[in-house]
Chains A and B, each alone.
Chain A
C-alpha cells in the first residue's frame, strides 16, 4: 500500500527556514514522480516542485531560488522526500502536501499534509 507521511511544518518567522520531510513507502520512489503541492488557507492547489525518477528537479517561479527539493532513496523499503524552504514569506503560509505517481499522470497519491505558518 502506498503511504506518504509529511512532517516538519510549524510556525516560522518571515525570512526563516524550514525543512519538510515526506516518508514514502509501498512503491519505488526512484521510478516515480514525487511532488510538493501547497494550498493556502481557503485557496486552491499549487504545484511548487517535483523531482522525476531520474532525479531532475523543477520549481514554480514562486519558490525558485528559495526552495530545494531532494530525496533519499538509499533504503530499499522506505524513501524520504524533502523540501528545504529558505527566505520564507507570509505568502508561503499553506498546507504542504507530498504527492506521488508511479505513472505518467504526475500526481496520484497524496499525504495528509503539514501546515506551515509564516508569521511574526
Chain B
C-alpha cells in the first residue's frame, strides 16, 4: 500500500498566525494523465470530513482562500495563511492514485 505520512501530528497555533502541515507519500502520486492525486480534508470536532483541496492545489467551492495547497511528486504542504477559531480540528491528506486510497495519520490544529 502507498504510505502517507503527515507532520506534525499536533499543531498549536496563535489566532491570526500561519500554519503549515506536511504530507509525504511513499510513492509518486503523478498519474499518466499528468495530474497528481493528492487531496486535503478538514474534520471539525464531531463532524464528517470535508474536502478542502484536490489534486494538490485546487480549492473546493466555498473553501476560504486562506487555505492553499502545494507540492509535487511525493511531498506536499497545506498552508493556512491566518488561522481562525473555526479552523480547529483534524487535517488529513489522502492519496487517491493507488488502491487502497490511503490517508495520513491526521494533524490536530488547536489554538494556543
Which A residues fall within an 8 A CB radius of B?
35, 44-48, 50, 58, 60-61, 97, 103-113
Contacts and interface: CB of A to CB of B under 8 A. Distances in A.
Interface of B: 33, 35, 37, 39, 41, 48-51, 54-55, 60, 92, 94, 96, 99-106
B92 A45 contact: yes
Contacts of B92: 44-45
Contact of B54 (A97, A108, A112): A108
A37 B57 CA distance: 23
Contacts, number: 57
Given A45-B49, A45-B94, A97-B49, A106 B37 contact: yes
Contacts of B41: 45, 107
Nearest to B60: A108
Nearest to A98: B48
A46 B50 CA distance: 15
A105 B48 contact: no
Nearest to B95: A106
B54 A103 contact: yes
A113 B35 CA distance: 30
B49 A106 contact: no
Contacts of B100: 47-48, 58, 60-61
Chain A to chain B: the 3 pairs with minimum beta-carbon distance, closest first: A106-B96, A105-B54, A110-B48
Given A60-B100, A103-B54, 14 more contacts: A44-B104, A44-B106, A45-B92, A45-B94, A47-B102, A48-B100, A97-B49, A104-B33, A105-B37, A105-B39, A105-B55, A105-B96, A107-B41, A107-B51
